[in-house]
Amino acid sequence: MPKKEKGPAGNQDLLQQAKQTTNEVVSQVQEQASSQVNRQKETAASELSTVVNAVRRFGETLNNEGNGPIARFAAQYGDKAANSLDRVAQYLREQDPKRLLGDVQNFGRRQPALLIGGAFLLGFAGARIIKSSMDAAGSTYDQSQGLMTTRTSPNPGSQPQPSFNTNVSGAQQPSPPPNPA
């Protein structure tokens, strides 16, 4: 059977349609990525503001309750750190993602050791957050019995965490770990 060939105009239409579809897909992906980056940027700025508030409260506590030059020095240092972190949080909120990426790249070229150290600290902090989230997700609370229980770990040889009975008056004591035989 002979094939029907499309004329040059049909091929051009198909090519234009493919280009248009590709441009639409690229535009949607860019919009979604930009939206995600903006959400992450705002989350980071909010978390940083939380740290700023905690550092400021710590400094105020040292000023109010601390005696001596070391407490005053630590409070002043904490206040300076809080101000710097506050500026970083504000910078994160105000800058567009492309500018932030360019600034990080420039900083990395000027201070590679600090950038690598900062990345390490962020990774370490992220791992701790994930670990604590996993630990919290592994715990359950049974309101009907007032018991705090934990799920058993799929890791062989791991120790189960203690359960507490919150309905017992007096001090709550963890149950003793099982004796390995």
Return the pLDDT at 176.
57
Query: What are the domain boundaries of the chain?
Result: 97-137
Alpha carbon distance 132, 92 (integer Å): 26
pTM of the model: 0.50
Return the pLDDT at 162.
47
Alpha carbon distance 40, 25 (integer Å): 22
DSSP label at 50?
Answer: H
Return the pLDDT at 86.
92
Q: Can you give 108-173 as a three-state secondary structure string?
A: HHHCHHHHHHHHHHHHHHHHHHHHHHHHHHHEEEECCCCEEEECCCCCCCCCCCCCEECCCCCCCC
| CA-closest candidate to residue 125, choices 133, 113, 114 | 133
Which residues lie below 8 Å from residue 79, measured CB to CB, with a gap of 6+? 56, 59
Query: What parts of the chain have a pLDDT lower than 50?
Result: 2, 141-143, 148, 150-154, 160-173
Side-by-side strand order, sheet with 147-150: 139-142, 147-150, 164-165
